[in-house]
């Protein structure tokens, strides 16, 4: 099992290095400007990417020094993310691509998992291409890394949330027609429903769909300190602002808030 770890580490580091080099200005959203100074933040960000590539090549070439270097790099990641969370709490991770989310427990957990994997790789006694069935375990490990990577949420987590909302919709029974999204958005912004939850919204429109004479649009939101999704139901035929309805649902698709007055309209 340990012999297969360098392959996983090498691929992860190549991925994170690519995203850093592709979007170097992401450095401005991290804690690097505070740590090394704003003029040097992008350069430091790119330098980390180059180091990641070099360590990845050592790992993929089954050089033992690669695993040791990966341990040192992982310790640096854990330290940097901890510093970010404490000193610059609004800073994003910048670990693997564009992200506006502040450093959270998932980012730190991913760095710790990377550290554990790096330590495991130092015990490898054979090259990764000789690991045999041990390579199958990498699929599970890669899935765990993906689940801890907020940068990949749009590929798996958001589709699951949308499916949950559609299967157990908080406004079921209450969108198709070729109505421009901007027209729907204007109706939402002018509605009492929007004013009722405006302070809870954290994004622009994330998704929309039509069903049985209604158009549903969703926004990212927070309610009672938890992440949620605000779903607006906009009827095609009734153009009055009061006809728009709204409900907030959690990650499991359960309704956590629905304005009482609006619910009875």
Confidence (pLDDT) at 171: 56
Confidence (pLDDT) at 157: 81
CA–CA gap between residue 260 and residue 249 (Å, rounded): 15
Torsion angle in degrees (nearest 10) through CA of 32, 38, 42, 45? -20
Structural contact between residues 59 and 92, judged by C-beta atoms closer than 8 angstroms:
no
Structural contact between residues 8 and 128, judged by C-beta atoms closer than 8 angstroms:
no
> Residue 225 phi/psi, 5° resolution?
80, 5
Confidence (pLDDT) at 127: 87
Q: Is 178 exposed, middle or buried (0-12, 13-18, 19+ CB in 10 A)?
A: exposed
Confidence (pLDDT) at 54: 97
Token pair 């992440």 in the structure block, residue: 227
Confidence (pLDDT) at 191: 92
Structural contact between residues 99 and 93, judged by C-beta atoms closer than 8 angstroms:
yes
CA–CA gap between residue 154 and residue 177 (Å, rounded): 26
Confidence (pLDDT) at 49: 96
CA–CA gap between residue 254 and residue 161 (Å, rounded): 11
Low-confidence ranges of the chain (pLDDT < 50): 174-176, 263-265
Q: Is 161 exposed, middle or buried (0-12, 13-18, 19+ CB in 10 A)?
A: buried
Confidence (pLDDT) at 262: 53
Nearest to 64 by CA among 153, 111, 125, 142: 125
Q: Could you tell me the pTM of the whole model?
A: 0.65
């Amino acid at each position: 099992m340990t012999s297969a770890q360098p392959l996983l580490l090498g691929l992860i580091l190549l991925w994170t290095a690519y995203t850093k080099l592709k979007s170097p200005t992401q450095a401005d959203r991290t804690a690097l400007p505070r740590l090394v100074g704003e003029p040097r933040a992008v350069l430091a960000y790119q330098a980390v990417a180059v180091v990641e590539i070099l360590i990845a090549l050592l790992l993929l070439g089954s050089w033992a020094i690669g695993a040791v270097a990966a341990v040192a790099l992982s310790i640096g990641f854990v330290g940097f993310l901890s510093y970010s969370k404490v000193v610059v709490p609004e800073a994003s991770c910048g670990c693997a691509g564009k992200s506006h989310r502040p450093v959270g427990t998932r980012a730190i957990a991913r760095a710790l998992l990377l550290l554990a994997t790096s330590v495991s790789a130092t015990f490898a006694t054979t090259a990764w291409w000789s690991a045999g069935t041990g390579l199958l375990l990498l699929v599970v490990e890669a899935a765990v890394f993906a689940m801890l990577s907020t940068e990949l949420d749009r590929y798996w987590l958001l589709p699951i949330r949308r499916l949950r909302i559609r299967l157990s919709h908080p406004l079921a029974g209450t969108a198709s027609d070729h109505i421009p999204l901007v027209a729907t958005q204007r109706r939402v912004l002018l509605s009492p429903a929007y004013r009722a939850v405006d302070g809870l919204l954290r994004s622009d429109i994330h998704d929309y769909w039509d069903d049985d004479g209604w158009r549903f649009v969703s926004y990212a939101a927070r309610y009672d300190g938890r992440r949620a999704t605000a779903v607006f139901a906009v009827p095609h035929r009734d153009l009055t602002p009061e006809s728009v309805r709204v409900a907030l649902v959690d990650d499991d698709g359960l309704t956590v808030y629905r304005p009482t007055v609006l619910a009875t309209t």
